[in-house]
Amino acid sequence: MNEADITQLNSFRKSGITTPQAYGVFANQMGGYQNVPFGPRQMYNEKFKKKKVEVCDARGVIGFLCNLKEKDPDLMWKHTSNEEGRLNKLFWSDGISRDNYLLFGDVLAFDATYKKNKYKRPLVLFSGANHHNQTIIFAVALVSDEKEETYVWLLDNLLDAMRGKTLVSVITYGDLAKKNAIKSVFPNAHHRLCAWHLLRNAVSNVSEPKFVQMFSRCVLWDLEIVEFEDRWAQMVIECGCEDNVWVQDLYERRKMWAAAYMRGEFFAGFRTTSRVEGLHAQVGKFVDSWNNLTDFMHNFFRYMSYQRQRELEADFASMHGDHVPQTQLKRLEKSASNHYTSNIFRLVSKGLHRCLMLKVSLFKETSTCIIYFVERFSLSSRRWNVTLCKTTSEFKCSCMRMESYDIPCDHILVVSRYLDLPEIPSSLIMGRWTKDAKERLELRGEQLGAWDPMDLCRFTVLRENCRRMCKAACRAPETFRDTNELVLKQARKLEKLEKGDGVKQTVHVVANDADQYLRDPLKPIKRRIGGASRGSGPGRRTSHCGLCGGAGHNRKTCLRATQ
């Protein structure tokens, strides 16, 4: 393999392309496998040769972050080591993620996933939702365990990295260690339990089949507190779970999962941790369980670049293009399309469709406000109260969806239609979901990446142009000789220039002298079936014969089998 082939192979490896797939690409470029001057074995040898010259994995990942900090001064990371000097915990957040947290860090969801690196260390992702309702990452951590003190350390670093901005709401699946850590670091944050995990646990803790259906209504339905208490009492009696300890404990924590008790608390539409699990699946497409820490970091930042590219595409789609009206409320719909991003506008548009089934039955005016009573055309037993303040022109609804989602509810929209407002009032448009949500942030000139993409672009352009030249020059002996002389002359000139100036290489430096002795985390021990480990030693289990029970032989060599 020449240097150009090795460069392209490294590019494939950093892009997540496997060696057999890369071999197929080389064969396609060169017109068949018979024209490739090397095989998969040489490609594997180059990959292993590169790994041998790399520095210690733990020091390499710290050096990688140091190099990134030169491009992004706002990059922040912290790490700890155990008594043996091995890397124990690593937390990091780059400048763009920290800026995003200042805008969208009101709601946080986090969970740990496993087997994303060869050390099998838990990967903790702190995520939220941006103005397009897309999942974004605020901070990342690799830890050795999931104890309460570990999560306290992570949340303390998160608070430090995000310049002291506290959370409004956080959602987890109910782990006790996370719960205690959140209560310790963010005591005023609203902690919500994942509804999907609660329903799954209900199946295993209550044997009555109809309990899950009745319980899901208590969890997800928009009920008043009195309605919730009545439904809960009815469910407990019908399902016969008055003495069930799990049900009793669940009722004690009802303020952490019941929609009736969480009305008015902003969660940006988060009800489950499915966003986090979907994020884990996306990250799994870029990182592998056999990645060392340095390769993991390269691939993870490649995913971050992909995620931010999706956000740029959503920005472009929201800013360009004309909206086609879908409802009879054309002025309100046009106003919403001018302010909200495309994904959020679809949610508002559904509310405009639903408000056509509502009506303002009557209103009552006081000295400070006007109260509008909203009902359905076909059902007058349910009534909502929409209050309009005369001095501030602010709307408030008894359903409190505006406070929970920062999006106007159907009842406020029907009052806007009743008042024949030309556009959605500014008091109803929260900056979090608007097109200009990120205007006050300074645009960064370069995106962070795991390698310099310009070098690869130049290499690709030159390679394609050389292929065109080779295809045209090999037709006749005269053109081949002339072209070959020109190429050799230019190659010698560039090699001489390269030797004179030197080649700029990426040098992994470490943060301080103490990190010079940082060691890699321990790899998990691979055990054979039955728990016996390979090799010899006091911890190895002695095998016994299945016929006589004696040690040192098996069924085939047993003397009893030959008798």
pLDDT in tens, 204-213: 898 888 999 9
User: How far apart, in whole angstroms, are the C-alpha atoms of residue 327 and residue 396?
Assistant: 24
Stretch 40-49: mean pLDDT, rounded? 83
CA 399 to the chain's CA centroid: 31
- For 167-196, the pLDDT digits (tens) are 889 998 878 889 999 999 999 999 999 888
Question: Strands, DSSP E only, in 274-416?
Answer: 358-365, 369-376, 384-389, 395-397
Return the amino acid letter for 444: R
- For 64-77, the pLDDT digits (tens) are 899 899 889 999 99
Q: pLDDT above 90 covers what percent of the chain?
A: 31
User: How far apart, in whole angstroms, are the C-alpha atoms of residue 200 and residue 454?
Assistant: 49
Stretch 153-160: mean pLDDT, rounded? 94
Q: Would you state the pLDDT for residue 515?
A: 65
Stretch 278-307: mean pLDDT, rounded? 86
Stretch 214-236: mean pLDDT, rounded? 90
Provide the Cα torsion 67, 111, 276, 98; round to 10°.
-40
Phi then psi dihedrals of residue 138, to 5 deg: -100, -40
pLDDT for residue 305 is more than 80: yes
Q: Would you state the pLDDT for residue 546?
A: 65
pLDDT for residue 469 is more than 50: yes
Residues paired with 376 in a beta bridge: 358
Q: Would you state the pLDDT for residue 131?
A: 92
Q: Would you state the pLDDT for residue 526?
A: 59
Q: Would you state the pLDDT for residue 52?
A: 56
Q: Would you state the pLDDT for residue 442?
A: 46
Measured between its terminal Cα atoms, the distance across the chain in Å is: 61
Output 289 or 561, whichever has higher pLDDT. Answer: 289
Edge to edge, the sheet with strand 107-113 lists 76-81, 87-93, 135-142, 123-129, 107-113, 169-172, 190-193
Q: Which region among 139-153, 360-374, 378-392, 505-519 has the lowest average model confidence (pLDDT)?
A: 505-519
Q: Would you state the pLDDT for residue 373?
A: 93
Report residue 443's pLDDT band, with 50, 70 and 90 as the boundaries.
very low
**Bridging pattern class, strands 190-193 and 169-172:** parallel
Highest averaged pLDDT of the listed ranges 137-141, 270-274, 403-407, 524-528: 137-141
Note the maximum CA span of the chain: 107
Stretch 118-144: mean pLDDT, rounded? 91
CA 16 to the chain's CA centroid: 18
Report residue 470's pLDDT band, with 50, 70 and 90 as the boundaries.
confident
pLDDT for residue 467 is more than 70: yes
pLDDT for residue 327 is more than 70: yes
pLDDT for residue 271 is more than 90: no
pLDDT for residue 129 is more than 90: yes
User: How far apart, in whole angstroms, are the C-alpha atoms of residue 416 and residue 484?
Assistant: 76
- For 504-556, the pLDDT digits (tens) are 444 445 556 556 667 777 777 655 544 444 444 444 556 677 667 777 677 66
Q: Would you state the pLDDT for residue 107?
A: 92
User: How far apart, in whole angstroms, are the C-alpha atoms of residue 404 and residue 263?
Assistant: 7
Q: Would you state the pLDDT for residue 451?
A: 40
Output 535 or 235, whichever has higher pLDDT. Answer: 235
The pTM for the full model equals 0.76
Report residue 407's pLDDT band, with 50, 70 and 90 as the boundaries.
very high
pLDDT for residue 139 is more than 90: yes
User: How far apart, in whole angstroms, are the C-alpha atoms of residue 369 and residue 444?
Assistant: 46
Q: Would you state the pLDDT for residue 9?
A: 86
Q: Would you state the pLDDT for residue 230?
A: 93
Residue pair 261/225 in contact (Cβ under 8 Å)? The answer is: yes
Mean pLDDT across the chain, nearest whole number?
83
Q: What are the helix (H) ranges across 72-220?
A: 95-104, 148-161, 176-185, 195-205, 210-220
Highest averaged pLDDT of the listed ranges 42-56, 305-319, 531-545: 305-319
Output 83 or 457, whichever has higher pLDDT. Answer: 83
Best CA proximity match to 331, nearest among 457, 433, 421, 201: 421
Report residue 503's pLDDT band, with 50, 70 and 90 as the boundaries.
very low
Report residue 444's pLDDT band, with 50, 70 and 90 as the boundaries.
very low
Q: Would you state the pLDDT for residue 448?
A: 41
Q: Would you state the pLDDT for residue 538?
A: 47
- Count Cβ atoms within 10 A of the Cβ of residue 348 and give its class: 0-12 exposed, 13-18 middle, 19 or more buried: buried
Q: Would you state the pLDDT for residue 507?
A: 43
Q: Which region among 233-247, 343-357, 546-560 has the lowest average model confidence (pLDDT)?
A: 546-560
Q: Residue ranges of the domains in the chain?
A: 74-306, 330-433
Q: Which region among 73-82, 124-133, 373-382, 494-503 has the lowest average model confidence (pLDDT)?
A: 494-503
Tokens of 438: 């990120």
pLDDT for residue 446 is more than 80: no
**265: number of Cβ within 10 Å:** 14
User: How far apart, in whole angstroms, are the C-alpha atoms of residue 401 and residue 419?
Assistant: 20
